[in-house]
Every structure is written in structure tokens, then in C-alpha cells.
């Protein structure tokens, strides 16, 4: 349990023109340099033994169009950059899609797959999400695999059954704590201002870990990070992140403000 270092990830979704995205990333980079005690003009390379002063890993996932510039903006800090989706193939005739290898090539370390907005808007199935996660692993990226029930499923008492099915169908059997992160995002809590209570979220996270145990074995399950997402804000982050099976947050709206995102990261234990 102790080895699970919290991960605070910002999912910018389809937000940000070039100037907005660069300003946001530069604001975070500046805070990160201050916390690390690095000079503001630190060189692009961070010595591996310099700890990020925050008690967590920090990740931003901008739109594809901004990734190259955001990687440059956070150079010299330990802030990681990720994509919001990837295609299952390495290359080929897939107009409009982006391969995991392309993200890796730009300096990404993570990619989100199976976000509920992609499951809903692009009809992504559990199987489609799993092959995207496998593509991420092939490319050397960490896959952040999202699961979560809709409001109707919740009202029907199906929350645990839905997330168990999504985990079984979306997580590659070769997943390890180093290659996969799970994100539990109840659909009814995304962008609504409604949040699962810490106790509700903890119960679902524990159920997810049980499912990971059945799928991957106890060592992988106990080491794998499970993030909570859905209206995480500075005001509710500490309580959520204080739960034993909540290992970080996947943050939408609040990740678009430097101070809010940093306050959430600072709340990680
Ligand atoms: P909000 O934090 O805006 O609710 O979004 C959560 C989310 O979907 C992150 O992936």
C-alpha cells in the first residue's frame, strides 16, 4: 500500500488555444520549480535524484494540438505530459487518429484511455479500450484506464457490477502498477459539481481493487494506483485523497486553473 505514490492528473479535455495552454503549463512549471528549489531558468534536464517537493506525481493531459508546446513549457520540472486518447495501431490509414507512438515521440509519458466522454461520444467498448491500453503499453506509455457508472446505472444499484465489468474488459491481463493506472470517474459526477462522498468513492475503489486482484493477482492489485475523478476541487480533494484506496485524482475543470490544480496536488498525502 505504502508504495502507491499519489498521481494528480489534469485532463484539459477540448480546452485551450495555444496561448491559454502555454500560460497554464508555464504557471504550473514555475510553481514546480519553486517547490523543487530549482532556479526559474533551470535547464531542461532534471537530475533523477531531485524529488518533486509535492507528495505526488503531477501530470497534465492537454489536447493533441498543444502537446508539443506543453512538453517544452514544463521542461526542467518533473511535471509529466500525457495524451487524452490514442489509436490501437502504430500507423496507417486512420484519418484523424493519433498513435500511442506519436505521443511517446513528443515526450508524453501517459495516455488516458476509455474516458466516459469517449465511451459515450465515440461508442468505445471495453474491448476497444483494452486494445488502446495495450497500444499504450507497446509504445512505452502508462495507460490511465477510466471506468465509471452512469446516473441511471447508479440509481439501479449497478455501480459495482458496472465497474467490475469495465475493469475485467478494459484492463490488459499484462498490466502492472508501472504500466497502468485506473481512474474511477462516476459519469454523474463529471462536470456537474456533484461528487461521490469519500465513503462512496472508497467503497467503489475497494471493489475495483478486488477486481484487479482477480484479474492480475494480489501484488499487482495492491500496487496499482486508482484515481478518483468527478468534480474534484481544492475544497474536497483532501478528504477524497485521504481514503485508503484513493491514490490520486483525475481532474477536469479545476485543472484549467493553476492555483486550483496546484492546491489539489498539494492536498495529496
Ligand atoms: P471534472 O473535474 O470537470 O468533473 O471532470 C472530471 C473528468 O472527467 C476528468 O477526466
Mean pLDDT of the chain, nearest integer = 93
Q: Helix, strand, or coil here: 228? A: strand
Q: Determine the residue of 61, 83, 229 to mutate for testing ligand 1's pocket, defined as the one with the most ligand atoms within 8 A of the Cβ atom.
A: 229
Q: How confident is the model at residue 120 (pLDDT cuts 50, 70, 90)?
A: very high
Share of the chain above pLDDT 70, in %: 93
Radius of gyration of the chain from Cα atoms?
17
Among 171, 163, 176, 170, smallest CA distance to 223 is for 176
Residues 6+ apart with CB under 8 A from 81: 59, 60, 61, 62, 67, 70, 71, 74, 106, 107, 108, 109, 110
| Residue 115 Cα: closest atom of ligand 1 | 10
Using CA atoms, how far apart are residues 255 and 60, in angstroms rounded to an integer? 8
Domain annotation for the chain: domains and CATH numbers: 7-87+96-266 (3.20.20.70)
| Residue 190 Cα: closest atom of ligand 1 | 4
Higher pLDDT, 258 or 33: 258
Among 239, 155, 243, 263, smallest CA distance to 251 is for 263
Active site residues: 115, 185
Task: Give the total residue count for the chain.
Answer: 269
| Cα separation of the two ends of the chain | 13
> Is pLDDT at 41 greater than 60 in this prediction?
no
Q: Is the model's pTM score more than 0.75?
A: yes
What's the confidence (pLDDT) of residue 36?
73
Among 19, 41, 38, 105, smallest CA distance to 78 is for 38
What's the confidence (pLDDT) of residue 269?
72
User: How far does the centroid of ligand 1 lie from the alpha carbon of residue 191, in Å?
Assistant: 6
What's the confidence (pLDDT) of residue 53?
67
User: How far does the centroid of ligand 1 lie from the alpha carbon of residue 10, in Å?
Assistant: 8
Q: How confident is the model at residue 55 (pLDDT cuts 50, 70, 90)?
A: confident
Q: How confident is the model at residue 1 (pLDDT cuts 50, 70, 90)?
A: very low
Encode 212-241: b = buried (16+ Cβ within 10 Å), e = exposed. beebbeeebbebbbbbbbbbbbbebbeebb
Using CA atoms, how far apart are residues 59 and 9, in angstroms rounded to an integer? 5
Q: Helix, strand, or coil here: 86? A: coil
- Least confident interval from 42-46, 63-67, 165-169, 264-268: 42-46
Q: How confident is the model at residue 131 (pLDDT cuts 50, 70, 90)?
A: very high
Q: How confident is the model at residue 54 (pLDDT cuts 50, 70, 90)?
A: confident
Q: How confident is the model at residue 49 (pLDDT cuts 50, 70, 90)?
A: very low
Amino acid at each position: 500500500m505504502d508504495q502507491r505514490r499519489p498521481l494528480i492528473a489534469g485532463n484539459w479535455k477540448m480546452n485551450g488555444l495555444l496561448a491559454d495552454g502555454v500560460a497554464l503549463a508555464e504557471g504550473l512549471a514555475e510553481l514546480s520549480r519553486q517547490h523543487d528549489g530549482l532556479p526559474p531558468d533551470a535547464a531542461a534536464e532534471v537530475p533523477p535524484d531531485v524529488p518533486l517537493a509535492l507528495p505526488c506525481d503531477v501530470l497534465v493531459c492537454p489536447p493533441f494540438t498543444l502537446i508539443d508546446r506543453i512538453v517544452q513549457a514544463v521542461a526542467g520540472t518533473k511535471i509529466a505530459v500525457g495524451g487524452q486518447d490514442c489509436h490501437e495501431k502504430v500507423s496507417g490509414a486512420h484519418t484523424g487518429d493519433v498513435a500511442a507512438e506519436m505521443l511517446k515521440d513528443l515526450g508524453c509519458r501517459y495516455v488516458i484511455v476509455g474516458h466516459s466522454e469517449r465511451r459515450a461520444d465515440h461508442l468505445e467498448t471495453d474491448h476497444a479500450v483494452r486494445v488502446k491500453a495495450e497500444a499504450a503499453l507497446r509504445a512505452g506509455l502508462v495507460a490511465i484506464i477510466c471506468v465509471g457508472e452512469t446516473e441511471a446505472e447508479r440509481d439501479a444499484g449497478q455501480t459495482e457490477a458496472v465497474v467490475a465489468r469495465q475493469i475485467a474488459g478494459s484492463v490488459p491481463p499484462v498490466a502492472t502498477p508501472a504500466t497502468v493506472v485506473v481512474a474511477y470517474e462516476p459519469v454523474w459526477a463529471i462536470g456537474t459539481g456533484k461528487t461521490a462522498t469519500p465513503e462512496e468513492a472508497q467503497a467503489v475503489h475497494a471493489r475495483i481493487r478486488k477486481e484487479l486482484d482477480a484479474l492480475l493477482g494480489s501484488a499487482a492489485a495492491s500496487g496499482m494506483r486508482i484515481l478518483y475523478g468527478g468534480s474534484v476541487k481544492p475544497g474536497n480533494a483532501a478528504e477524497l485523497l485521504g481514503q485508503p484506496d484513493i491514490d490520486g485524482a483525475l481532474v477536469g475543470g479545476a485543472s484549467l486553473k493553476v492555483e486550483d490544480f496546484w492546491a489539489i496536488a498539494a492536498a495529496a498525502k
